[in-house]
Amino acid sequence: MSRDFSMVHTADQWLRSAFHNTSLAVDQGAVQLAWQQEVAPSAAETLPEPTGLAFDPWCRLYRSIPEEGRVTRTRWGKAGPDLSTETDLFKAEKPSHGDFSPEKSATGPLKRPRSLVVDSQGCLFIAEAGGGLLIYDLLEQRLLRKLRLGNSSIPGSRIVDLACHGRRVYALLADPCTLIVLDARSAPKTRPLHQNLVRPSRLTVSPNGDLWLLDYAGKKTARVMPLDRPDAGFAIPDATDIAFNEQDVLVAARMPGQDFLCFRVNDNDSFALPHLLARHYNGQGIVRMPENGIGFLTDQGFRPAVRARMRYLPKGQVTTFRLDSNRFQTVWGRMFIDACIPKGTEVRVRCLALDEVPEHAERVYREPPVNTVNAVIHRPDLSPPMPPEKFLAEISEFHPLHRRSMGSEIPWRSAESTDSFVTYEAPVIAGPGRYLWVVLELKGTTRLTPKVRSLRIEYPAHDLLRRLPRIYSRDEESADFLRRYLAIMEGSMREIDLRAVYRHVLLNPEAAPQERLEWLAGFIGLALDKRWPLAAQRTLIRNGAWLFRFRGTVNGLKRFIEIYLGRSVEIVEHFKVRGLGGAIVGEKDALASGAVLGAGFRVGGKVGEAQAVSVNEERIEDAFDSHAHRFSLVIPISLDQEQREVIEHILALHRPCHTIYDICSVDAGMKAGIGLYLGLTTMVGRSSGFGELRAGASCLGRRDIIGRPGSGTRPGSSRVGQDSRVG
């Protein structure tokens, strides 16, 4: 007999439940115990003047010191900032621009630098307290522009903060409150602000380009708001600065000495995350570090914030919304829960089943998760009702869960080895009824919490009692016990039947469990390589018969490697390019003929020889030695050591044994004289396989360059004597 399921799954469904001392783990879509927010007392009663912190594309930290009129630069090492490399880029007491000053500069010194940003092109923007904005080119070491933003007729007009996304820079002005958008060379443009913003003082840009502003910084009424979605804003009391850590994780700094708060912000939902430790924070601002993470200033220097250890509440509950079987007097069957229950923690359940609910019964309040900041429930009118509080209070006994040894109840499905969630089972101990509510009780320690990701309940229950003599089920209490007792055997028999019904799943490479793939591949005599990705192994089994049919051919070998890499490759047989033109540098017995420049054109011979060897004069013996039974495998991506070993293993097993090959990947570079073919092994243009290099100041693994093309003159933005000249 087939059975249906009612379930509670995904964050949207859990949000329609009632939470008590529990929270929602957004990244896992699971419920867990709420944590205790430790609020450290502030080390200072007043907020110090903020400073500017910024990283350039080459992992160098820039810091402004307003009271001294300085901007410093510090190199970033493996363990963080190398304080021994801290140098002054600009000082107020010197009538020059330091490293950036041309010989004849009339711009004058810095007065009081505050906010700093560096765009993707390596231009440093320095906002001065009086409203001036200086733009320096860090590569060419010269001043590009000096702007005056805001209304010069208003004395109080000033730049309070800067933010950057790519080449675009945002400047926030106060008195009056204005947002300016510009880049290193374009003219500033004004962008309107929402009317609910009263005194914004800080702004930041998420990695995907969303602009967020902080209103009433340092006040109990402090609030953050995305510029394009003002309804998604929320309050953060005492917040003084904001920055994005990851794609959607907003970090808020508070008063000096207090830890940082973290929030996961989506399109409409915002949830609090575990906070970050910020010991000895002096209140002068935060910045996103190059490899993610948040850095801040202390009196002893720059430090990264680290995740704090959580202190969870000892107990909490989650009450689900109404589950409907659409049939009165339904006897509910087994309950399956996907949960992560560490040692020392526990999850217990109790159930309430009813056919009808009194019209005026007081229902359980739908309390949101403790960590909810701004959650939006789509179509709340469709949320099923909560249970009546009176009936639920009459059921006080909770029942434990049993961990299933066979994994999930779904046939032929096993839990992934990397998944910490396993399936637990328990019978629904409740009377018959169309509607069912489930209460989950979570118990943990101060350091550990159980997590529940999914809840599934089958209905109706088994009908084995109908197959026994009536005498065994006349008494209601005895019948209930016998039903639960027989559910153990019935569950095992049902799983055996379902495995038999769905045995065809084992023959489907896309649906078969991972541990059965090697058995399935044995049907066609194929041995799987554990180094292959799981998706590639499934595709290999599905195409196994075709691959063996064309084994040893160009198409078969290409398809084999393309399945492993997940992208197309090329195989160049050397005899097909014999006689084509190309530049040859090296001995004449080179493996291939070099770059194809055009048919009939060839610059040949050994280096230093005056005479070029004509194609028509090449001997047959030399052509056989250099071209016959040879091919090049062209792979347009960079290969790591394991990928190269796997490809070499494929070639060793499936290529013709009398052939010789070479592998040409992006990271191998251009080799003049060895397989350099335009359109096959060579591409004109930017490649993702290489980084740029900056001579003398390279930071390997980051964005390094040698030089940069000069920027042209832009009408309305360029200035004679600064970025342009006549003559």
pLDDT for the residue 102: 44
- Indicate if the pLDDT at residue 387 is higher than 80: yes
**Residue 238: which region, alpha, beta or left (left: phi > 0; alpha: psi -120 to 50)?**
left
Asked whether the beta carbons of 526 and 544 are under 8 A apart, the reply is: yes
- Segment 476-505 shows an average pLDDT of 88
Amino acid, single-letter form, for residue 28: Q
Asked whether the beta carbons of 40 and 257 are under 8 A apart, the reply is: yes
Distance in angstroms (rounded) separating the CA atoms of residues 642 and 638:
12
- Segment 639-645 shows an average pLDDT of 93
Closest C-alpha to 605, from 586, 591, 626, 581: 586
pLDDT for the residue 248: 86
- Indicate if the pLDDT at residue 339 is higher than 70: yes
pLDDT for the residue 602: 36
For residues 168, 173, 177 and 181, what is the CA-based torsion angle, rounded to 10 degrees? -20
Count CB-CB contacts under 10 A for residue 232.
Answer: 20
> 477: Cβ–Cβ under 8 A, 6 or more apart, which residues?
none
Distance in angstroms (rounded) separating the CA atoms of residues 184 and 126:
12
- Indicate if the pLDDT at residue 652 is higher than 90: yes
pLDDT for the residue 579: 60
What is each CA distance from 61 to 58, 72, 87, 294, 694, in whole angstroms?
9, 8, 11, 13, 17
pLDDT band at 647 (very low <50, low <70, confident <90, very high): very high
Lowest-pLDDT range of 67-71, 498-502, 667-671: 667-671
pLDDT for the residue 175: 77
Backbone phi, psi, residue 406, to 5°: -100, 10
pLDDT for the residue 668: 60
pLDDT for the residue 104: 42
Distance in angstroms (rounded) separating the CA atoms of residues 274 and 271:
10
The dihedral of CA 229, 235, 239, 243: what is its sign?
Answer: negative
569-594 pLDDT, tens digit each: 999 898 887 765 443 333 344 333 33
Closest C-alpha to 280, from 260, 262, 300: 300
pLDDT for the residue 163: 95
In percent, how much of the chain has pLDDT > 70?
78
pLDDT for the residue 383: 94
Structure tokens at 122: 């390596």
Per-residue buried b or exposed e for 570-599, using 16+ beta carbons within 10 Å of the residue's own CB: bbbebeebbebbbbbbeeeebbbbbbbeee
Asked whether the beta carbons of 510 and 502 are under 8 A apart, the reply is: no
pLDDT for the residue 451: 97
| DSSP code for 707 | -
214-240 pLDDT, tens digit each: 999 989 999 999 998 888 899 999 999
Asked whether the beta carbons of 262 and 253 are under 8 A apart, the reply is: no
Q: Which of 29-33, 194-198, 711-715 has the highest mean pLDDT?
A: 29-33
pLDDT for the residue 703: 47
43 or 327, higher pLDDT: 327
pLDDT for the residue 77: 72
355-376 pLDDT, tens digit each: 999 888 999 999 999 999 988 8
Structure tokens at 533: 């990705």
Asked whether the beta carbons of 149 and 131 are under 8 A apart, the reply is: yes
pLDDT for the residue 674: 47
- Segment 480-492 shows an average pLDDT of 88
pLDDT for the residue 613: 43
Count CB-CB contacts under 10 A for residue 453.
Answer: 21
274-319 pLDDT, tens digit each: 999 998 899 888 999 988 889 999 888 889 999 888 899 999 999 9
pLDDT band at 682 (very low <50, low <70, confident <90, very high): low
Lowest-pLDDT range of 94-103, 208-217, 250-259, 582-591: 582-591
pLDDT for the residue 55: 93
pLDDT band at 68 (very low <50, low <70, confident <90, very high): confident
What's the pTM value of the predicted model, to 2 decimals? 0.76
In percent, how much of the chain has pLDDT > 90?
46
What is each CA distance from 291 to 4, 304, 454, 573, 701, in whole angstroms?
48, 11, 34, 44, 11
Asked whether the beta carbons of 149 and 161 are under 8 A apart, the reply is: no
Lowest-pLDDT range of 312-321, 640-649, 704-713: 704-713
415-462 pLDDT, tens digit each: 666 788 999 999 999 999 999 999 999 999 989 999 999 999 999 999
pLDDT for the residue 551: 93
pLDDT for the residue 398: 94
pLDDT for the residue 622: 64
SS3 content of the chain, % helix, strand, coil (to 5): 20, 30, 50
pLDDT for the residue 621: 60
pLDDT for the residue 684: 47
pLDDT for the residue 583: 36
- Indicate if the pLDDT at residue 562 is higher than 90: yes
- Indicate if the pLDDT at residue 626 is higher than 80: no
pLDDT, the chain, mean:
82
> What stretches of 7-122 show up as alpha helix (H) in DSSP?
10-14
- Indicate if the pLDDT at residue 176 is higher than 90: no
Helix axis angle, 641-654 relative to 554-565, nearest 10°? 150
pLDDT band at 27 (very low <50, low <70, confident <90, very high): confident
